Amino acid sequence: MPAISSTSLNFESIINAINVGLILVDRDQKVLLWNEWVARHSDIPMEKALGKPLNEVFIEPPSPALLAAVRNTLQYGLPVVLSNALHRSPLALFQITDARMEENRMHQSVTITSLSGDDLQRYCLIQISDSSNSIKREKMLRSHSEVLRKEATTDSLTGLYNRRFFDEHYKMAMGQAVRQKLPITIFMVDIDYFKDYNDYYGHLAGDKTLNTVATTLRNILTRSSDVVARYGGEEFILMLPNMSSDNALQFAEKLRRAIWNLAIPHIKSKIGSQLSISIGVSTFDQNSGGNERSLILAADTALYDAKHKGRNQVSCLALSSFVVPESQAASVNSVM
């Protein structure tokens, strides 16, 4: 190809100075141009690459997609772009020239263009750029976004969902329960005399105990649809879709016993020498009346009843018999 063989030194300096890989092949896919960028990242000098078929010059054959794209460009003259999203490393190019480990293989973006020479033959120019840094930045942004999302939906101390997430998820779960005519049960859980625990044992011990209680409650849940969240300082809330009132009391007792069996010392408790919880339970179904707001209020009222009766126990309140306090009636009616 005269245009290549008579290229001036200045032109060679230009193509070797740019931070992009350039490979030119003829209609037989033999290499006519191999710039220093490609030589550096393939560890194959130009003199060893020139004249060799493209599918034999690298230490590993190019990907089938790239070879097919080159053939199509030579035959039809249409440009092709191989994005990194679908073709991560179509050529055996490395970020460190003496490395041959897969983890050091360069992420590449490849553009394939048709060129016509003075001999009226069609040639194929392959341009390669290093996408590795872009991929790293994208991964960092995704990771940062995931951290922000997690911070927005989880409690930083216990790792449980926070109240904001629960409120949003609860609305969707309640809507689904209404549409499918299935029950849904709320459990309000409060650690008994936790302020006294903190005052006596210290806040570090209190945080550790909150984590232990949170982990214990979470481990009892078995279905992906079950949700437990930290609802306040020492208060947790659990939502179990498709749990009837008949099974709710038994499950609540399981929760209460699990915390009691931890045998965490609490000498300032007024009901025993170890940590305990009180639980309020209420269930929504098609015959219970009420709505998403009144269900939580009913469970909260049941929790108050459990504490009033001596704590370390479970109290259930049927939603059908729950009367919304006048002070909260307006907010409940606004949801209905």
For the cut 60, the answer to whether the pLDDT of residue 328 exceeds it is no
Residues 224 and 260 in one domain: yes
**With bands split at pLDDT 50, 70 and 90, how would you rate the model's confidence at 6?**
very low
Last residue in a domain, options 137, 167, 191? 137
**With bands split at pLDDT 50, 70 and 90, how would you rate the model's confidence at 335?**
very low
CATH of the domain at 114: 3.30.450.20
pLDDT digits over 277-301, tens only?
999 999 998 776 666 678 999 999 9
- 306 occurs within a structural domain: yes
User: Which region among 77-81, 188-192, 285-289 has the lowest average model confidence (pLDDT)?
Assistant: 285-289
Residues 115 and 159 in one domain: no
- 206 occurs within a structural domain: yes
Last residue in a domain, options 90, 111, 137? 137
279 burial level (CB within 10 Å; 0-12, 13-18, 19+): buried
Task: Give the range of the structural domain holding residue 301, as residue numbers without chain letter.
Answer: 154-335
**Cα 278–282–287 angle (5° rounding)?**
165
Q: How far apart are CA 34 and CA 214, in angstroms?
A: 62
**With bands split at pLDDT 50, 70 and 90, how would you rate the model's confidence at 97?**
very low
Q: How far apart are CA 178 and CA 284, in angstroms?
A: 9
Structural element, H or E, at residue 293: helix 292-308
pLDDT digits over 244-277, tens only?
988 999 999 999 999 999 999 999 999 989 999 9
DSSP output for 247-267? HHHHHHHHHHHHHHTT--B-T
For the cut 70, the answer to whether the pLDDT of residue 333 exceeds it is no
**With bands split at pLDDT 50, 70 and 90, how would you rate the model's confidence at 99?**
very low
pLDDT digits over 310-326, tens only?
999 999 999 887 776 65
Q: How far apart are CA 226 and CA 252, in angstroms?
A: 14
Q: How far apart are CA 147 and CA 287, in angstroms?
A: 42
Residues 191 and 277 in one domain: yes
Q: What is the structure's pLDDT at 133? A: 73
Q: What is the structure's pLDDT at 325? A: 64
- 174 occurs within a structural domain: yes
User: Which region among 6-15, 38-47, 258-267 has the lowest average model confidence (pLDDT)?
Assistant: 6-15
Q: How far apart are CA 220 and CA 253, in angstroms?
A: 12
CA separation, residue 266 to residues 101, 196, 280 (Å) = 57, 9, 22
pLDDT digits over 111-149, tens only?
999 998 777 789 999 999 988 777 677 777 776 666 666
Whole-model pTM: value is 0.59
Q: 335: Cβ–Cβ under 8 A, 6 or more apart, which residues?
A: 291, 292, 293
Q: What is the structure's pLDDT at 334? A: 40
- 105 occurs within a structural domain: yes
CATH of the domain at 187: 3.30.70.270
Q: Which of 47, 138, 168, 234 is catalytic?
A: 234
Residues 304 and 184 in one domain: yes
- 148 occurs within a structural domain: no
User: Which region among 64-73, 155-164, 172-181, 291-300 has the lowest average model confidence (pLDDT)?
Assistant: 291-300
**Ramachandran assignment for 159, one of left (phi > 0), alpha (psi -120 to 50 degrees), beta (any other):** left
As for how many domains the chain has, the answer is 2
Residues 93 and 225 in one domain: no
pLDDT digits over 208-219, tens only?
999 999 999 999
- 142 occurs within a structural domain: no
- 330 occurs within a structural domain: yes
Terminal CA-CA length for the chain? 80
Are 114 and 123 within 8 A, CB to CB?
yes
Instruction: For residue 184, count other CB atoms closer than 10 A to its CB.
Output: 23
Residues 78 and 120 in one domain: yes
For the cut 80, the answer to whether the pLDDT of residue 85 exceeds it is no
Residues 131 and 159 in one domain: no
- 144 occurs within a structural domain: no
Q: What is the structure's pLDDT at 150? A: 65
Residues 132 and 176 in one domain: no
Q: How far apart are CA 176 and CA 146, in angstroms?
A: 27
Residues 130 and 165 in one domain: no
Last residue in a domain, options 76, 104, 137? 137
Residues 173 and 129 in one domain: no
More confident: 16 or 211: 211
Residue 168 bears catalytic tag? no
Q: Which two tokens stand for residue 5?
A: 């063989």
Are 186 and 285 within 8 A, CB to CB?
no
For the cut 80, the answer to whether the pLDDT of residue 51 exceeds it is yes
Cα-to-chain-centroid distance, residue 285: 33
Average pLDDT over residues 145-165: 83
Residues 87 and 158 in one domain: no
Residues 236 and 294 in one domain: yes
Tokens 């949003």 belong to residue: 168
